[in-house]
Amino acid sequence: MNSSKSLVHVDLSYNNLNSSIFQWLSGTHTNLVHLDLSGNNFTGVVGWLEAVNMLPKLTNLILQRCNLPPPIISSVSVMNSSKSLVHVDLSYNNLNSSIFQWLSSTHTNLVHLDLSGNNFTGVVGWLEAVNMLPKLRDLILYGCNLPRPIISSVSVMNSFKSLVRVDLSDNNLNSSIFQLLSGTHTNLVELDLSRNNFTGGVGWLEAVNMLPKLTNLILSGCNLPPPIMSSVSVMNSSKSLVRVDLSVNNLNSSIFQWLSGTHTNLVELDLSWNNLNGSSIPDDFGNMSSLAYLALSGSRLKGGIPNSFAKLCRLRELRLCNNSLSGQLSDIIDILSKCAQNTLEYLDISDNHGIMGSVPENIGQMSKLEAIYFGGNSLEGVISEIHFSKLFQLLIWIYPPTH
C-alpha cells in the first residue's frame, strides 16, 4: 500500500485484475496522469469511482469493457471530483444516469467523452449534463438507448460551440436533435446519427446546412423523409462535405438537387436503398471529381450511366446493383475506362436486368479491379483470356449469363 508516487502512466488493460487494483491506486499515486484498465472484469466493484477521484492529476481515464457497475453518487468526495480529466472512455460497461451526475459541472476541462454501449434507457437530463462541459470536442454515445431529449431549456439551446465530433448513432432519438445541433455547433466536423428514428423530421436538411465545417455526415437507417427543396438556405449548402451516407431512408430524387453542383469535394457518397423511383443518375455527379466511393444500390434507378462518369478519375468503388438500369455493357465499360481505368477496384452492376450485350475485352485493361459483379443482367457471349489480360488483382468475378 505504501507504493511509489512516481507513477505517471499505467496501462494494465486486458488482464485478470479485480477490485484490489483500485485499492492500490487510490490515494498513493497522486501523480498518475494516464490510467487504462480496459478489458478487466470489475463486476460488482464498489467504490471504483471514489478511487479514481483520488487521482488529482489524472487526465486520461480509460476503463472500457470492464463490467463496471453504476457508481453510488452520495459522498462529497465523489461529487468534488478532480477537474483535471481531459479524456474519459467508459464505454461498454453497466453504467446508468449517475455517471452524468458525476461528469456535469465538475469536469469542465473534458475534451473527449465516450460512454457508448451503456444502457441509459429513461435517463432524463443527459443532454443538459453534456451541455455543462464547455470544452468538449468529442461526444461519443452510440448504442446507449438514449431517450429523446427535451429541447426546452435555454441551457440546452445555448449549447457550446466546441463540439467537433458527435456520434449518437443507435439510440432512440427523434428529429428534435437537429433543433439542438443547427446553428449552435458551427465547428462540428463529424456527425453520425445513424439508426435513430427521424420519421416526419421536417427540416433536417436545413439543420445540416447550418453546419459550415461539416465534412462527415452519416444518417443511415433513420427513416429520413424527402427534403423540401424550396428554401435558399438549403440550396446554399456547405461545400465542406467529404463523406455523406444517407443510405436506407425514404429519400426521393430531390436529394439529387441538394447534392448537384454544390458538393464538389465529396469523396464518399452512399444513397443506397432509398426510393429514387424512376429517377436517372444525374449528369452532375460527373462533376464530383474527388469521388472515390459511390453507392446507389437498391434505389429503383432507371436509365443508363451518364457519360459524365468518364470524368471520375479517382473512382475506386461503384455500387449500382438492384436497380433498373439499362444500356450496353460495352458502353458502360468504355465510360468508366476513360479515366478510372487505373483506379477502379470494385464494380457491382448486378441485378439490373436491363444491362445487355457481351463483356468487352477492354475490361482487361482495368488493372486495379479486385471484384466484378455482372450477374442478374441480360448478358451473353464468351469470356476469354483477353478479358483477364491485366486483371492481376482480381479476386471475384460473378458473371452468370441469363441466356
pLDDT 10s per residue in the chain (403 long)?
445 678 999 999 999 999 889 888 876 778 999 999 999 999 988 889 989 988 999 999 999 999 999 988 775 455 545 689 999 999 999 999 899 988 876 778 999 999 999 999 988 889 888 888 989 999 999 999 999 887 765 355 445 679 999 999 999 999 889 888 876 678 999 999 999 999 988 889 988 988 889 999 999 999 999 988 775 455 545 679 999 999 999 999 999 988 886 678 999 999 999 999 889 999 999 989 999 999 999 999 999 999 999 999 999 999 999 999 999 999 999 999 999 999 999 999 999 989 999 999 999 999 999 999 999 999 998 899 999 999 999 999 998 654 4
Query: What is the spatial distance between Cα 133 and Cα 102, in angstroms, rounded to a whole number?
Result: 12
Q: What is the CA radius of gyration of the chain?
A: 26
Residues 6+ apart with CB under 8 A from 174: 148, 196, 197, 198, 201
Separation of alpha carbons 238 and 216, rounded Å: 12
pLDDT of residue 229: 77
Q: How far is 319 from 350, CA to CA, in rounded Å?
A: 9
Contact residues for 403 (Cβ-Cβ < 8 A; gap 6+):
378, 380
Element (H, E) at 77: helix 76-79
Residue ranges matching CATH 3.80.10.10 in the chain: 1-172, 276-403
Name the nearest CA neighbour of 124 among 160, 82, 172.
172
Bridge-based pairing of strands 317-319 and 9-11 is: unpaired
What is the distance in angstroms between the CA of the first residue and the CA of the last residue of the chain? 79
Task: Using CA atoms of 134, 139, 143, 147 in order, give the dihedral in degrees to the nearest 10.
Answer: 30
Which CATH superfamily groups domain 276-403? Ribonuclease Inhibitor (3.80.10.10)
CATH topology of domain 1-172: 3.80.10
Rounded CA separation 152/276 (Å): 36
**Residue the block writes with cell 439510440:** 171
**pTM (2 decimals)?**
0.92
Q: Is the dihedral of CA 6, 9, 13, 19 positive or negative?
A: positive
